[in-house]
Structure 1
Amino acid sequence: MAAVSLLVAVATIGAGVPTMPEAGADLQVQLSGVRSAKGVVHLCLSPNPGRFLDCKADPNAIARTLAAGRAGRIDLGPIRAGTYALLVVHDENRNGKLDMMMGIPREGFGFSNNPSMKPRAPKWEEIRFTMPANPTVQQIRVRYVL
């Protein structure tokens, strides 16, 4: 990765055209519906259509974990313009995952675009959103089945 950055810097200097990386715009996530202050809330912002449901498998994902009682508004800072998906899990027992019982989530979850609940995980097309070049707020409703 450092070698690629170095090559880009050398090519830029050699061309005599300085370029600055895109700084991006601030992204804030506003959560509603968190049923208790128990546990933590995990948030994952992913640009990867193949890995958006598994934050750990996406090297380009931005992850945050906050105490559930403090997770009403989350500032992710500057995000480059592009297409992303947001996943939120209310991990009430702090075990680092969304607990399931017979395929049904036992803890709270939410996604960008607040898709309607279906008996399957959402598809990228249902939850993707375009991050504009100006600051924005994504509002996500946390839902509970059990």
Structure 2
Amino acid sequence: MKLTHILSSALFASTLSATAAMADMEITIDGVDASGGAIHVLAFNDQRAFENNMFAKMVSYVKIPANEGTVTGTLPGLEAGTYAIMLHHDANDNGQMEMKGPVPEEGWGYSNNAGAAGIPTYAEASFEYTGDNNPTMKMNYAPK
């Protein structure tokens, strides 16, 4: 009887600590060059998923209305750990990255402001999230 009570208490305590460890990551995105459409923000905690655009394996997502200048949003339910974030300014809000050959016609960005000149690796874009260090990222646009 006493062992059952101890195990139940331990399970309850571990559930509380796991819940307490979850946080919402506030994201700030600078350099949005035009109003309209939406900015898709995708968080990954897995190198293979990030580097291979395995969107089904992202761990958090938010869609933010795009406004010129700086926008903010919240990635919900993340615990402390290593993450890489991918941004896409979907100017026409069709859910696709418009490309002209290998050049994006819509904005993009990554955590650590990696990837201005090419697609970054997970190591280049990843950072340690402690639950209260919220990233600021810059949107990139190809010259027109």
Same fold (TM over 0.5): yes
- Residues 97 and 105 in structure 2, CA contact (< 8 A), matched pair in contact too: yes
> Can you give the 5+ residue segments of structure 2 that lack an aligned partner in the other structure?
none
Pair 88,81 (structure 1): closer, same or farther in 2 beyond 3 Å: same
Structure 1 vs Structure 2 CA RMSD: 2.5
| TM superposition shift of 1:93 | 1.3
Tell me the TM-score normalized by structure 2: 0.80
User: Which residue of structure 1 aligns with residue 26 of structure 2?
Assistant: 28
Pair 116,90 (structure 1): closer, same or farther in 2 beyond 3 Å: closer
More helix, by proportion: 2
- Residues 29 and 138 in structure 2, CA contact (< 8 A), matched pair in contact too: yes
Secondary structure of the residue aligned to 2:137 is: strand
Aligned residues: 133
> Can you give the 5+ residue segments of structure 1 that lack an aligned partner in the other structure?
1-10
User: Which residue of structure 1 aligns with residue 72 of structure 2?
Assistant: 73
Tell me the TM-score normalized by structure 1: 0.79
Q: In 2, distance between residues paired with 1:91 and 1:45?
A: 17
| TM superposition shift of 1:125 | 0.6
Give aligned-pair identity as a percent: 26
Task: List per-residue Cα deviations over 1:64-94 (Å, max 9, x = no partner).
Answer: 1122129711122442011110111000111
Which of structure 1's runs of 4+ aligned residues deviate more than 2 A? Answer: 11-18, 22-26, 53-57
